[in-house]
Amino acid sequence: MHDIKPGQSIDLLKELHILTRDGKMNQDSRRKLKQVYHLYQFIEPLLLEIQRDHQDIQLVDHGAGKSYLGFIIYDLFFKNLNNASRIYGIETRDELVRKSEELAAKLNFPGMKFLNLSVAESIDSDRLPERIDMVTALHACNTATDDAIRFALKKQAKFMVLVPCCQAEVASVLKKNKGKSLAREALTEIWRHPLHTREFGSQVTNVLRCLQLEAHGYQVNVTELVGWEHSMKNELIIATYKNLPRRRPVERLNEVLETLGLEEMRERFFTPP
Cβ neighbors of 27 (< 8 A, separation 6 or more) are none
Are 7 and 76 in contact by the 8 Å Cβ rule? The answer is: yes
Total domain count, the chain: 1
Distance CA 157, CA 9 (A): 29
Asked whether residue 5 is domain-assigned, the answer is no
Q: How many residues does the chain have?
A: 273
Cβ neighbors of 119 (< 8 A, separation 6 or more) are 62, 63, 90, 137, 140, 144, 147, 148, 151
Are 33 and 20 in contact by the 8 Å Cβ rule? The answer is: no
Asked whether residue 184 is domain-assigned, the answer is yes
| b/e map 2-18, b = 16+ CB within 10 Å | eebeeebbeebbebbeb
Whether the pLDDT of residue 2 is over 60: the answer is no
Whether the pLDDT of residue 190 is over 90: the answer is no
Asked whether residue 81 is domain-assigned, the answer is yes
Whether the pLDDT of residue 228 is over 70: the answer is no
Asked whether residue 26 is domain-assigned, the answer is no
Q: State the pTM of this model.
A: 0.91
**CATH number assigned to the domain comprising residue 235:** 3.40.50.150
Residues 49-62 have a mean pLDDT of: 96
Asked whether residue 10 is domain-assigned, the answer is no
Half-sphere exposure of 25 (CA within 13 A, CB side): 19
Residues 67-78 have a mean pLDDT of: 96
Q: Which sign, positive or negative, has the C-alpha torsion 130, 136, 141, 145?
A: positive
**Which pLDDT belongs to residue 112?**
98
Nearest residue to 269 (alpha-carbon basis) of 222, 218, 197, 216: 216
Asked whether residue 181 is domain-assigned, the answer is yes
Which residues constitute the domain of residue 210? 31-269
Asked whether residue 166 is domain-assigned, the answer is yes
> Which of 11-15, 139-143, 190-194 reaches the highest mean pLDDT?
11-15
Distance CA 113, CA 125 (A): 14
Residues 89-110 have a mean pLDDT of: 96
Strand-by-strand arrangement of the 58-62 sheet:
112-116, 86-91, 58-62, 134-141, 159-165, 235-241, 218-224
The pLDDT confidence band at residue 206, using thresholds 50, 70 and 90, is very high
Q: What are phi and psi of 86, to 5 degrees?
A: -140, 145
Asked whether residue 2 is domain-assigned, the answer is no
Q: Which residues pair with 224 in a beta bridge?
A: 235
Are 113 and 88 in contact by the 8 Å Cβ rule? The answer is: yes
